[in-house]
């Protein structure tokens, strides 16, 4: 007699566990992204470091004097540039308020607005995008706490940290390779075309102090690398903390 062939059918338990693991891991990544972003914001995205070590200062010294509309920006000090970047960062994290009021002053020129109208409009679009990301981020944080509550009430443990971390690093490495294959500048361009379909995001260095002081898109690449590193560290710490907390709460009382 021929043996009856059977096909593998994943159980509902396996499917449920896979869904829970996926949701929890994604929520955990969002938590890590949010925390690391707030840390970067507090340290001004390490602008002073990038200014000195990633040729941002060199770019300002080169292109600042070439600006068609603003005078003397190449004469600004390192401290002025760091403070101007901080003001932009604070504004885009506060709904765009204050962008048009950012000014700089160097002798012998009068005090000047840093940003032209087109730049203010674009940075307002950036501020609106950040606001939407914050809503999504807080939703992810709430979901993460809900998942922790679920594991606590069901007396089960979250997915193992090592597996989650390996998966996260794998995604990061794959994304990095893909970006270099496609080209960082091309990825930057496509990202802006998708996120800002209204346009008004491309500026020549000679026409934009915003682009000059960020040496766009190079500064964003360095910040992205910094963000990824902070996210991986934060992800690891929060996962260990969450699992230790759950073990403590679920430990039988004597």
The single-letter DSSP state of residue 100 is G
pLDDT at 13: 57
The pLDDT value recorded for residue 170 is: 86
Q: What is the pLDDT of residue 46?
A: 97
Q: Given this model, what pLDDT does residue 74 score?
A: 95
Taking the alpha carbons of 47, 51, 52, 56 in that order, is the dihedral positive or negative? Answer: positive
Q: Are 205 and 129 in contact (CB under 8 A)?
A: no
pLDDT at 200: 81
DSSP string covering 19-51: HHHHHHHHHHHHHHHHHHHHHHHHTGGGHHHHH
Q: Is the pTM value of this prediction over 0.85?
A: yes
How far apart CA 173 and CA 235 sit, in angstroms, is 16
- Per-residue pLDDT of the chain (254 residues), as tens digits, is 444 544 545 555 588 878 888 899 999 999 999 999 999 999 999 999 999 999 999 999 999 999 999 999 999 999 999 999 999 999 999 999 999 999 999 999 999 999 999 999 999 999 999 999 999 999 999 999 999 999 999 988 888 888 888 888 888 888 888 888 888 888 888 888 888 888 788 899 999 999 999 999 999 999 999 999 999 999 999 999 999 989 888 877 65
């Amino acid at each position: 007699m021929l043996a009856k062939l059977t096909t593998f059918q994943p159980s509902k338990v396996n499917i449920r566990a896979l869904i829970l693991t996926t949701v929890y891991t994604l929520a955990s990544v969002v938590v890590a992204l949010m925390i690391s972003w707030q840390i970067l914001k507090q340290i001004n995205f390490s602008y002073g470091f990038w200014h000195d070590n990633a040729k941002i200062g060199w770019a300002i010294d080169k292109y600042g004097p070439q600006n068609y509309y603003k005078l003397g920006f190449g004469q600004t000090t390192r401290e002025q540039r760091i403070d101007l970047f901080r003001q932009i960062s604070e504004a885009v994290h506060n709904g765009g308020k204050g962008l048009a009021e950012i000014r700089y002053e160097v002798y012998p020129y009068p005090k000047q607005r840093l940003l032209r109208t087109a730049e203010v409009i674009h940075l307002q679009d950036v501020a609106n995008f950040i606001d939407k990301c914050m809503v999504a981020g807080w939703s992810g944080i709430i979901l993460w706490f809900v998942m922790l509550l679920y594991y606590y009430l069901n007396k089960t443990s979250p997915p193992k940290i090592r597996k989650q971390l390996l998966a996260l690093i794998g995604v990061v490495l794959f994304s990095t390779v893909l970006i270099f294959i496609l080209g960082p500048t091309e990825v930057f361009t496509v990202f802006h075309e998708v996120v800002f379909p209204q346009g008004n995001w491309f500026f020549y260095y000679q026409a934009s102090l915003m682009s000059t002081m960020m040496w766009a898109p190079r500064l964003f690449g360095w910040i992205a690398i910094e963000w990824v590193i902070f996210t991986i560290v934060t992800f690891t710490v929060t996962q260990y903390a969450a699992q230790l907390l759950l073990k403590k709460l679920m430990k039988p009382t004597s």
